[in-house]
């Protein structure tokens, strides 16, 4: 059983930055990957970025490449999503999710086991 708690959302102007945190507790030892998703009103939930927990290798959707960076602090069991050069179209509720699978498709939400509560990110134009 793993609990994920997100923090760091807020309101920023276009071009600004935010850093989201995703802190894990419980039996986290089996975690293999952490993904970040977002969902805007009226839209489907979409994959944003992910990190292989043990190696630190990252993967990004094209829409955020060069602007967002996913990282983790193993000792704190915390993942981060650094968001720079934010655009109004980045406005959404952002979710972190963890998977204990040894192989998975980043973009398939049903392959994740644990989800955060969501953090609202609003980018004004």
pLDDT digits (tens, 9 = 90+) for 41-91: 999 999 999 999 999 999 999 999 999 999 999 999 999 999 999 999 999
Torsion, CA 123, CA 77, CA 107, CA 6, rounded to 10: -30
Query: What pLDDT score was predicted for residue 11?
Result: 98
- The token duo for 93 is 């509720």
Over residues 103-115, the mean pLDDT reads 97
Under the phi-then-psi rule, with left for phi > 0, alpha for psi from -120 to 50, and beta for the rest, what region is 29? alpha
Share above pLDDT 70 across residues of the chain, in percent, rounded to a whole number? 100
Query: What pLDDT score was predicted for residue 63?
Result: 97
- The token duo for 53 is 């927990």
Are residues 125 and 14 in contact, defined by beta-carbon separation less than 8 angstroms? yes
Are residues 78 and 22 in contact, defined by beta-carbon separation less than 8 angstroms? yes
Question: Residue 64 has what DSSP assignment?
Answer: T
């Amino acid at each position: 059983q793993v609990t994920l708690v997100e923090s760091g959302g807020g309101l920023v102007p276009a071009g600004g930055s935010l850093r989201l945190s995703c802190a894990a507790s419980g039996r986290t030892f089996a975690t293999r990957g952490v993904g970040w998703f977002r969902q805007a009103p009226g839209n489907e939930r979409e994959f944003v970025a992910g990190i292989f927990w043990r190696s630190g290798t990252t993967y990004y959707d094209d829409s955020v490449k060069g602007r967002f960076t996913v990282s983790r602090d193993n000792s704190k069991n915390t993942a981060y999503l650094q968001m720079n050069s934010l655009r109004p179209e980045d406005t959404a509720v952002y979710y972190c999710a963890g998977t204990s699978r040894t192989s998975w498709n980043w973009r398939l939400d049903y392959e994740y086991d644990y989800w955060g509560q969501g953090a609202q990110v609003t980018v004004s134009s």
